[in-house]
Chain A
Amino acid sequence: MASEEPDRQGLRDAATILPFAAAALLAPPLIWIFAGPTEPGRVPLIVIYIFGIWAVIILAAFLLARRIGRLTDHDPQRRDGGP
């Protein structure tokens, strides 16, 4: 139990940071970096960027949810969802 405690804190922090990181990556000014004019004959970079980041966010959320799920299932007292 004691060794899990820092782990749990870390997960909680990650779960809190994830949406803010996602918002920052998908909003100006960061998004402007990839919003340059497209060279003819290429897939616009911005399309690849947005869909790529989108997929990465989903993957991160998946890994996080799985780890949180494992912690919660191991500890029956937390099944009610208390922090």
Chain B
Amino acid sequence: MLPANLVVLVCLAYVAVLFVVAFVGDRRARKNPAGWLSSPLVYTLSISIYCTSWTFFGSVGSAAKNGLEFATIYLGPTIVFVGWWIFLRKLVTIGRTYHTTSIADLISARFGKNPALGAMITVLALVAITPYIALQLKAISASFQVITFPAGAVAAAAGSLEPDFAIAFWLAAGLCVFSIIFGVRNIDVNERHHGVIAAIALEALVKLVAFLVVGLWVYLALSGTPEEMFRNAPVSLLNPQQSFGERWVALCFLSGAAVICLPRQFQVTVVENSSEEQLRTASWMFPLYLFLINLFVIPIAMAGLNFLPEGTDPDLFVLALPMAEGQGSLGLLAFLGGFSSATSMVIVSSIALSTMISNHIIMPIAMRFSMVPTGSSQNVRSFILVTRRLSIIFIVFLGFVYFWISRTSDALASIGLISFCGLIQPLPALVAGLYWRRATHGGAIAGLGAGFLIWCYTLFLPSFEGAFVLSSDVIEHGLFGWSWLRPHALFGLEAFDPLVHALFWSMAVNSALLIGVSLLREPTPLTRFQATLFIDIFRRQTESELGVIRRTARVSDLRQIADRILGPSEAVQLFEHGAAAEKAVIASDELISQVEQRLAANVGAASARSLVSRVVTDETISVDELKRLAGEAEQIRAYSAELERKSRQIEATAAELAEANERLREIDVRKDEFLSQVSHEVRTPMTSIRSFSEILLNNRDLDETRKLHFLGIIQSESFRLTRLLDGILDMNLMEPGMQPWEATSFDPEDALDQAIATCEPLARAAGASIIRRRRARNARIMGSRDQLAQVFINLISNSIKHNSNAEPEIAISGGTRKTVYELRIADNGQGIPERDRDQIFQKFYRGQQTRHRGVGLGLPISRQIVERFGGELGLSDAKIGGAEFIVRLPLHQP
């Protein structure tokens, strides 16, 4: 035995780790929703909550008693997942596209957002899951008792222990706390719970590793040769011919359906899904997980039969084997594995069910009787949160009560399959909903109701063996003594065992009623519309679909609903998208649909519809339009529209390319021109420098004044050359990605003063006057002061040089406007011709009538500098005679 304190301590430490993982997962997901928590691996591990304690302990038990039958529970899901392309892909895409919150939500949304259907599925799930949760509580408390039993685990597993309700109670309380903290923290779009998923993924790893380690140890230490291993094997394993009858097929079908329909599976597979890649990976990785966790089931079962005394409960072999051989730490690991598998099931099931209860039972009732609190949005949201939290407590403790009540009977032992059979009753409606347009909500309700009743009567109630509702007399002889109503042989069908019998009748009647009742009446227009959306999920959606439902509602009313349910921040976001529409009084059809979809992501499609319906005054659904949409012609039209769109895109791209090419050519031509210009410019001073230096060299007897004159020319020509080269160099320096400058905050007027002072001699030489009109006060901008001064010098000297007026005059005025500093430099020259206006800022461009032979770099460099400041440099449009340049720079607000 292990000391109870140690086991409790290890459990608490493990739970603390889970809390940390969930907490960190939540935080990381909020920071980066596309992080590793959305990876296909985590997604797959979360799906493996399919393996509960029923797998962990029960598989071995089943293998010891019934041979290979345990494998059916995993082969069914394997087939469903490797067949993802056919069914799961469609289901998951629909769930992702329409923000489905649960299986009840999906089915009710498909059948005209029918609230009754959602409520029915919720009740059914609650009834069928309660015993399943009880089974998990029992598994944990029993395994705890076994490994801590003072007389040794083997004795504990052999005798029938009185269940320990104290453990189960505290466990249930702990599970409630965890689920509430991480499962119902907020009402989230998509209802995704990253923290919970992170913890579940860790638990999935723990249970897999635990089972593999125990299995490997058993295989290596205890199994021996095949002969030794199988010496006590059950007949069903050694001579398995009988095992593969209708029960084998039925169990495969049952488990395959269950992996789709169980609320917790639907939660992790569909609701928590965020990309197709996740499902694609899970399609093989989840079967692989199932394969691995079953790999050692047979060796453990056989070793248990060989080494443990007769009468030991086979469901406890996983624990009892290591304990019997004195491997305490292995036993503890196995216990943790079972603990993980049970807790993760309860956590996800209770979260999924609480969403269903809140959205499909409490919300509709609250809205019907006006119990939803009015007033601030906080009230409504906390109302929803509180109902969900209470639902979790209700569900978990219902499981606890069930465990407590059923302590005397063996009802729990076989509850796994019984529960599965009840939970898959929505399957026919789900399949029909995804593939059959004629299916109606009437058919779905009739089928589901009948299936549920048959399941209760033929399987669930008889499982109490006369202790609950049905007496053992009724179970034996049928209701009212009518033998054709015997629960285990309905209509005299005695060939099957009770499970296959119940599965057959419930599925057969369920499907028959679904089809029959659906054919009686035409589906309602809304059902038809939803059918089109769901069935054609992979068809490209066309705009015309929005035109099917026409509704009228006031924007302010819609906004109020969105505020109350979604909260103010999200409502603002939602209404911002249609910023133009916000000013309108009447909301567009698109806006109404958008609001309804977002609400549906929180409270379910049916509740969202009834919320929106309250403010919608007029609704029509065009049936003709719907029929047209579903028709062949429309599909072709949509396809050809798509083709047209693509070819338009390609044409546009080609045009862009041609334009870019044209631009490149032009630049190339200009570059050539510029190069020849530059070589010419360089050549002229070079020629004079060369010829004057030759004169100086060859004629030593020149007089001093002439020598000095020639040297002066050489010097000034060299200066010209340097300036020219500096200009070219500046041009390159300003190219994007070149050296960063040191940005400081400074007053642009200071840079202007500096520039004017520099230009003063030039102005004096040209006889021009510089007039300062206005000064900006207290303007500060960010950047390099010298660079800005360079720009101003360039602009002012341009105005001086290119001014043809007899009395040249340059007017400069600065000012601030809101967050912009603006400087205008105007001259009274002949102005800039219309055709040059766009081009003077282009690199390598030189004006048509240039008298001063520059290199055409000043303005492009200036503009680049100004743009680097985040500002702009341009020409004023005003016709004032001369040219007016405007510099605008963003002000720096410290």
Which residues of A come within 8 Å of B, CB atoms? 12, 15-16, 18-20, 22-23, 26-28, 31-32, 35-38, 40-44, 46-47, 50-51, 54-55, 57-58, 60-62, 64-65, 68-69, 72, 79, 81-83
Would you list 26 pairs from A and B whose C-beta atoms are within 8 A, ordered by A residue? Answer: A15-B83, A15-B85, A16-B83, A18-B83, A19-B86, A20-B83, A28-B245, A28-B249, A31-B248, A32-B244, A37-B241, A43-B226, A44-B230, A51-B291, A54-B291, A55-B291, A57-B79, A58-B287, A58-B288, A58-B291, A60-B82, A61-B284, A65-B283, A65-B284, A81-B93, A82-B539
CA distance A58 to B828 in the complex (A): 85
Chain A hits for B284, CB < 8 A: 58, 61-62, 64-65
Q: What is the chain A residue whose CB lies nearest that of B89?
A: A81
**Known A-B contacts A31-B244, A41-B227, A69-B277; A26 and B252 likewise in contact (beta carbons under 8 Å):** yes
* Contact residues, B82-108 vs A (CB, 8 A): 82-86, 89, 93
Q: Are B540 and A19 in contact (CB under 8 A)?
A: no
| Contact indicator per residue, chain B 451-468, by CB within 8 Å of chain A (1) or not (0) | 000000000000000000
Report if B28 contacts A (CB, 8 A): no
CB distance from A60 to the nearest CB of B (A): 7
Number of B residues contacting the other chain (C-beta, 8 Å)? 45
Q: Are B68 and A46 in contact (CB under 8 A)?
A: yes
Most B CB within 10 A of own CB, among A26, A28, A51: A26
CA distance A15 to B795 in the complex (A): 70
| Contact indicator per residue, chain B 231-268, by CB within 8 Å of chain A (1) or not (0) | 00100011111011100110010000000000000000
Q: Is chain A's interface secondary structure helix, strand, loop, or mixed overall?
A: helix
Report if B276 contacts A (CB, 8 A): yes
CA distance A51 to B548 in the complex (A): 52
* Contact residues, B190-248 vs A (CB, 8 A): 225-227, 229-230, 233, 237-241, 243-245, 248
Q: Are B288 and A68 in contact (CB under 8 A)?
A: no
Most A CB within 10 A of own CB, among B80, B239, B249, B284: B284
Which of A19, A28, A36 lies in contact with B80, CB distance below 8 A?
A19
Most A CB within 10 A of own CB, among B227, B229, B245, B276: B276
Which residues of B come within 8 Å of A, CB atoms? 68, 71, 75, 78-86, 89, 93, 225-227, 229-230, 233, 237-241, 243-245, 248-249, 252, 276-277, 280-281, 283-284, 287-288, 291, 295, 298, 538-540
Q: Are B227 and A27 in contact (CB under 8 A)?
A: no
Chain B hits for A81, CB < 8 A: 89, 93, 276, 538
CA distance A21 to B710 in the complex (A): 100
Chain B hits for A47, CB < 8 A: 68, 237, 298
CA distance A75 to B62 in the complex (A): 47
CA distance A28 to B78 in the complex (A): 17
Q: Are A35 and B245 in contact (CB under 8 A)?
A: no
CB distance from B679 to the nearest CB of A (A): 48
Which of B75, B79, B82, B244 lies in contact with A28, CB distance below 8 A?
B244
Which of A31, A41, A42, A51 lies in contact with B295, CB distance below 8 A?
A51
Q: Are A57 and B244 in contact (CB under 8 A)?
A: no
Which of A12, A26, A31 lies in contact with B85, CB distance below 8 A?
A12
New contact pairs (19) apart from A50-B75, A57-B82, A58-B287, CB-CB < 8 Å = A15-B85, A16-B83, A16-B85, A18-B85, A19-B82, A22-B78, A26-B252, A28-B245, A37-B239, A38-B237, A38-B238, A42-B226, A43-B230, A46-B240, A47-B68, A51-B295, A58-B291, A65-B284, A83-B538
CA distance A42 to B82 in the complex (A): 31
Chain B hits for A50, CB < 8 A: 68, 71, 75
**Known A-B contacts A47-B298, A65-B281, A69-B280; A22 and B538 likewise in contact (beta carbons under 8 Å):** no
CA distance A64 to B298 in the complex (A): 30
CB distance from B626 to the nearest CB of A (A): 21
Q: Are B82 and A18 in contact (CB under 8 A)?
A: yes
Which of A46, A51, A57, A82 lies in contact with B540, CB distance below 8 A?
A82
Chain A hits for B538, CB < 8 A: 81-83
Q: What is the chain A residue whose CB lies nearest that of B277?
A: A69
**Known A-B contacts A22-B79, A35-B240, A60-B82; A28 and B288 likewise in contact (beta carbons under 8 Å):** no
CB distance from A11 to the nearest CB of B (A): 9
CB distance from B48 to the nearest CB of A (A): 14
**Known A-B contacts A12-B85, A19-B80, A83-B538; A44 and B238 likewise in contact (beta carbons under 8 Å):** yes
What are the 4 tightest A-B residue pairs by CB atom distance, in nearest-first order?
A: A19-B83, A15-B85, A61-B284, A41-B227
Chain A hits for B249, CB < 8 A: 27-28
**Known A-B contacts A47-B237, A61-B283; A35 and B291 likewise in contact (beta carbons under 8 Å):** no
Q: Are A28 and B248 in contact (CB under 8 A)?
A: yes
Q: Are B230 and A38 in contact (CB under 8 A)?
A: yes
CA distance A41 to B110 in the complex (A): 56
Which of A12, A15, A16, A26 lies in contact with B79, CB distance below 8 A?
A26
Chain A hits for B280, CB < 8 A: 65, 68-69, 72
Chain B hits for A43, CB < 8 A: 226, 229-230
CA distance A79 to B277 in the complex (A): 9
Chain A hits for B239, CB < 8 A: 37-38
Most B CB within 10 A of own CB, among A15, A38, A51, A58: A58
CA distance A18 to B367 in the complex (A): 47
Q: Are B75 and A26 in contact (CB under 8 A)?
A: yes
Q: What is the chain B residue whose CB lies nearest that of A37?
A: B239
Chain B hits for A19, CB < 8 A: 79-80, 82-83, 86
Q: Are B79 and A23 in contact (CB under 8 A)?
A: yes
CA distance A67 to B227 in the complex (A): 43
CB distance from A30 to the nearest CB of B (A): 10
Q: What is the chain B residue whose CB lies nearest that of A73?
A: B277
Most A CB within 10 A of own CB, among B68, B243, B281: B68
CA distance A46 to B242 in the complex (A): 12
Q: Are B241 and A36 in contact (CB under 8 A)?
A: yes
Most B CB within 10 A of own CB, among A47, A69, A81: A81
